[in-house]
Structure 1
Amino acid sequence: MDLSGQLNEYTERKEMMADVVCMSLGSVPPGEQRSRFLSVGLSDQTVRIISLDPSDTLQPLSMQALPALPESLCLVEMGGGGREGDGGLGTVGGLYLNIGLTNGVLLRTALDAITGDLSDTRTRYLGTRPVKLFRVRMHGSESVLAVSSRSWLSYSYQSRFHLTPLSYDVLDYASGFSSEQCPEGIVAIAANTLRILSLEKLGVVFNQVATPLNYTPRKLAVHPPSANLLVIETDHNTFTEAAKTARKQQIAEEMVQMAGEEEQEAAAEAAETFLSEDLPENLFGAVKAGAGMWSSCLKVMHPTEGKTLELVQFQQNEAAFSLAVCQFASRGDVEWFVVVGTARDLTLAPKTCSGGSLILFRMSPDGSKLEHVHSTPLDDIPVAMHPFQGRLLVGVGHLLRIYDIGKKKMLRK
Structure 2
Amino acid sequence: MKTRMVINKAAMLAAIFSLTFSFVASAADHRPVRGPVDFTLEYAKYYKITPQEAKRRMAASEESRKVQSALREKFPDTFAGLHIEHRPTFRIVAKFTRDAEASLRQVSKSEVLVAEQAPYSLHALHAAKNVLDEDLRASGIEFISSTDIRSGKVLAYVRDVGQAQERTTSLKSAAPFIEFRETPDFVKPTAPYAARHGGYKVMAGNGQYCTTGFNAKTADGTPVVTTAGHCDDVQRAWNSAGTVLPMVNQANKGSLDIQWHRYPSSIYYLSSRVEAGTLLYDVRGLVTLANMQIGDHVCKYGHTTYMTCGDIVSLDFTAPHENELGHFVQVRNENGDTMNREGDSGGPVWGYAAGAGHTAWGTVHGRGADGTPFVKDLFFMPSDRFAQVGLTLLLTK
Which band: TM-score by shorter chain?
Answer: under 0.3
Choose between structure 1 and 2: higher strand proportion: 1
Determine which structure has more spread, i.e. the larger CA radius of gyration: 1
| TM-score, structure 1 as length reference | 0.18
Choose between structure 1 and 2: higher helix proportion: 2
| TM-score, structure 2 as length reference | 0.19
Q: Which has the higher contact order (CA 8 A, sep 6+)?
A: 2
